[in-house]
Amino acid sequence: MQELWTLLNFINPDSFDDQDVFMKQYGDIKSKEKVDELHETIRPYILRRLKEDVEKSVPPKEETLIEVELTVLQKQYYRALYEKNVKFLHRDKSPVDGPSLNNLAMQLRKCCNHPFLLTGVENEVRLQKPNTTDVDSLVNSAGKFVLLDKLLPRLKADGHRILLFSQFKIMLDIIEDYLHLRDFKCERIDGSITGMKRQAAIDRFQSKATNGREQPFIMLLSTRAGGVGINLTAADTVIIFDSDWNPQNDLQAQARW
């Protein structure tokens, strides 16, 4: 608030001549009414440029929320985690080799994304179904992957380009394995990819298809790492694989295209 007053004082020193008065009014805002009052106060000094106002050719944004049912495997582990059923979670293995019960909310969230994010589950599934292919094992274990496996081929056939966001780097690892197994060409940006590699991935995604070279169909991004300082205008569709607890982070991520 002190920095905001400094800017306002620079712009209009006659109206904002006393920092103490400003801080007394807005220094400790705890109500929506006070926020609205502040917005009205600073509105004459702010120029807000919306994408649809600047670029008329951009089609209106459409948002579709899809509720996905958990698979039987996910339901089993979700209930076991929620009830802290150690007997089920650590059967035939030591506690170190099974799912953790630390930070239960995070473990449940991982289970809803893909049960292979839980320690030991992937090995257990492969032992129970040794004849299942890797891609079928990935797809059939998670409800979101069942949907993704139906959605992506259709989007590619229709000529769409995709940005896919996830909160978890390990979730991006699983999605990347799936894309390679399904022969979808992809690029990836997360917190560990910086500098020239990051820019090279952006350039490849943004480049146009040439003879003998296929455009990347999908860009994988971690929501925090891909939310700032990147413009991926080649994409026309955004998939939020798992929502952030702060919805503003998802909105910022969607603004990359």
- Give the model's pLDDT for residue 211: 59
Per-domain boundaries in the chain: 2-45, 72-131, 145-254
What is the phi/psi pair of residue 244, to 5°? -80, 150
Per the structure block, which two tokens stand in for 245? 């607890």
Beta bridge partners of 218: 162, 186
Give every CB contact of residue 144 below 8 A, 6+ residues apart in sequence. Answer: 68, 112, 113, 114, 241
Topology classification of domain 145-254: Rossmann fold (3.40.50)
Name the burial class of residue 24, with classes exposed (0-12), middle (13-18) and buried (19+) by CB atoms within 10 angstroms of its CB: exposed
Q: State the pLDDT at residue 215.
A: 83
pLDDT of residue 115: 92
pLDDT number for residue 256: 64
Nearest C-alpha neighbor of 218 from the set 226, 210, 134, 136: 226
Write the single-letter amino acid at 103.
N
Position 28 scores a pLDDT of 87
**Spatial separation of the C-alpha atoms in residues 117 and 131, rounded to whole Å:** 21
Q: Is the dihedral of CA 198, 203, 206, 212 positive or negative?
A: negative
Residues of the chain with pLDDT under 70: 51-52, 209-212, 225-230, 256-257
pTM (2 decimals)? 0.74
Tens digits of residue pLDDT in 145-160? 999 999 999 999 998 8
Residue 218: its pLDDT value, please?
A: 92
Q: Which two tokens stand for residue 169?
A: 């780097």
Amino acid symbol at 75: K
Residue 229's pLDDT is what?
A: 60
